Structure 1
Amino acid sequence: MAASESMTAAVLTGYGEPPTVQRRPRPTPATGQVLVRVSAAPITPLDLLCASGGSYLGPPALPYVPGVQGVGTLADGSGVWFPTHAGLAPGDGGLAGYAAVAVADLVPLPDGVDHRLIAALGYSAVAAWSALTLRGGLRPGEDVLILGASGTVGQAGVQIARLVGARRITAAARSAAAAERLRALGADAVVPLRADDDVPGLADRLREAAGGPVDLVLDPLFGVPAAAALRVLRPGGRLVNLGSSAGATAPIDSATLRGGSLRVLGYTNNELTGQQRAAALVAIAGHAHAGRLTVDHQVRPLDEVAAAWQAQADGTAGARIVVTLV
């Protein structure tokens, strides 16, 4: 295989194991596809889930190149964000020098935008944007509570709520060190989440920090934090859930739901149309390019992908890891 016909890629050869760097044939685009030279791709929770072999869709065929999203350039030098089905369906993903992507799935990026930042934002920012605006119906002047705010979705959510015009934004996070960072990103108040929190006590602390009831809760946690947050919603308020990192179930009581005529809404990126996803990404990229939207992230070269993958899997990375390919 000639060097010009091959590329370097992260390749998964065993479930639950980090990928290794290998030479692979450069993909040949099928009808309706185009070749993207990948510049950066994140390691995401979905990548880790698929690679574990325990995904609800079943174990993917090995070997394959992971990476459910990426950022790169077309032959004319224009920048694009792209999704892949790596780990979800047969085919390779974004953690490689090149990716064959459906033309209809490409999202154009502003000239000069930081590809590493767009990779870090990616689907997480899309989830925050769409959960707040499309699913949650956030309107200017409303008060917002962001749970799990130190994570990528939460950080993006704080800034997006401010961009949309929220009046007051309260953030809640387990990391005490995150408080200063979240205030810098736009949070008016930050509430520490504790392992021994109970629903009434946490609800009191959230309500005090928020200065009263809130209109909308962005919840990537569920569990006790979600149940407490429901008690802070004003009548007719909405909680949008998009994760369960604090618990698969939550001790929600009927009286709270009925008494406030509250709405608990589930959200997943899978419900978005291609047009909705592209519109969210165009808005996100525009704000990022203008310096109005960012998230904490680490940048690692491809030759460190095994260590980076393990750090993300162990939860020791401290931030979203973005792998650079060029």
Structure 2
Amino acid sequence: MRAVQIHACGEPPVVAGRPVPAPGPGEALVEVIAAPITPLDLLCATGTSYFGTPPTPYVPGVQGVGTAGGRTVWFPTRAGMAPGDGSMAELATVPESDLVELPPGADPVTVAALGLSAVAAHQALSRCGELRAGEQVIVLGAGGAVGQAAVQLARLAGARRVVAAARSAAARERAERAGADAVVPLDSEDVDELAAALSAALDGPADLVLDPLFGAPAAAAARALRPGGRLVNLGGSASETSPIDSSTLRGKSLRLLGYTNNELTPAQRTAAITEIADHAAHGRLSVVHETVPLDDAAKAWQRQASGAPSGRIVLSVR
């Protein structure tokens, strides 16, 4: 079968032949339809993640969509985080218990593009952030896959106003297309300046911040929260540290929360993917993405790593 393969950490992958995997006890053989290239895939393949250096060669791909037993399914893998292969191949072996059947009408590529990014947005807003109808939400990094999904999911959950913030003009356009009420440029490292811009875009203090950035944006957003407000951090793409000041945390009795998909139980992940796929099937949820043939995976991988694409790249395996 054809498969994307990492032969040495830190080097681009290659597409080459690989033996067809044999499913073990309790596993299914999935015919892969679509596999996204995600930031986690890129990070694991460097060999510098906190999961350690993966044994090579291996097939990357921490998630995908395919068919198994006549069903169209979404599936996760531990590729790059533990020994074993992932989704970027014509066939993959997956524990039966990890397969999530998709509803009729769900487009495999759209669901693949959403995938775990949308799961993170959904769970960070609802389970961790306890979003309630009528609240105001700030979504930082709103041009990325997590941010775009968060804007739409906050809307679907009944948020009365969603203020997005993003760095580039293209990212701000994606956030606007996702349905944000206002979009604030993250074009400064000045916390006072950013806090003023976010506050001006709100209708009173915010209730909840979804933050995949940390750094100065998180510190600014914290200042725009109401007393008792919540900030959920699920990434550090701006910085691993943030100048959030003690007086803001204490003066407003804020809740600063951390989120990771790794904490989810299989049942929680399945429920989230099922809801996300249903929204996608009914046209309520999507993220900007492009489809690339599996044979062009090496170039697509390098483009995704450079940040050149306008959205998530999804490899089309069939």
SS in 1 for 2:151: helix
Q: Which residue of 2 aligns with 1:26?
A: 20
User: For 1:258, which of 250, 258, 264 is the aligned residue?
Assistant: 250
Q: Deviations over 1:210-232 (max 9, x none)?
A: 12210000000000000000000
Q: Which residue of 2 aligns with 1:3?
A: none
SS in 1 for 2:310: coil
**TM-score, normalization: structure 1?**
0.96
The one-letter amino acid of 1:209's match is: A
User: For 1:101, which of 86, 94, 102 is the aligned residue?
Assistant: 94
Q: Which residue of 1 aligns with 2:31?
A: 37
CA distance in 2, matches of 1:181, 1:198: 24
The one-letter amino acid of 1:56's match is: Y
Q: Which residue of 2 aligns with 1:89?
A: 82
CA distance in 2, matches of 1:65, 1:179: 34
> How far apart are 1:180 and its partner, in Å?
4.0
**TM-score, normalization: structure 2?**
0.98
Q: Does 1:294 align with 2:286?
A: yes
Q: Which residue of 2 aligns with 1:140?
A: 133
Range with greater deviation from structure 2 (176-185 or 277-286) = 176-185
Q: Does 1:74 align with 2:74?
A: no
SS in 2 for 1:10: strand
User: For 1:234, which of 201, 220, 226 is the aligned residue?
Assistant: 226
- Unaligned runs of at least 5 residues, structure 2: none
Q: Does 1:170 align with 2:163?
A: yes
CA distance in 1, matches of 2:190, 2:280: 37
Q: Which residue of 2 aligns with 1:53?
A: 47
CA distance in 2, matches of 1:248, 1:190: 24
Report percent identity of matched pairs. Answer: 63
Q: Does 1:11 align with 2:5?
A: yes
Range with greater deviation from structure 2 (226-235 or 11-20) = 11-20
Structure 1 segments, 4+ long, off by >4 Å, are none
- Figure out how many residues of one structure are paired with residues of the other and give that number: 318
RMSD: 0.9
CA distance in 2, matches of 1:267, 1:132: 10
CA distance in 1, matches of 2:106, 2:278: 9
SS in 1 for 2:18: strand
The one-letter amino acid of 1:226's match is: A
CA distance in 2, matches of 1:88, 1:180: 34
Equivalence map 1:199-218=2 (5 Å): 199-218=191-210
The one-letter amino acid of 2:74's match is: W
Q: Deviations over 1:222-245 (max 9, x none)?
A: 000000000000011000000111
Q: Which residue of 2 aligns with 1:4?
A: none
Q: Which residue of 2 aligns with 1:115?
A: 108
SS in 2 for 1:177: helix
SS in 2 for 1:248: coil
The one-letter amino acid of 1:14's match is: A
> How far apart are 1:94 and its partner, in Å?
0.1
CA distance in 2, matches of 1:181, 1:94: 27
SS in 2 for 1:14: coil
CA distance in 2, matches of 1:258, 1:104: 44
Q: Does 1:158 align with 2:159?
A: no
Given that 2:210 and 2:233 are in contact with CA atoms closer than 8 Å, whether structure 1 keeps it comes out as yes
The one-letter amino acid of 1:58's match is: G
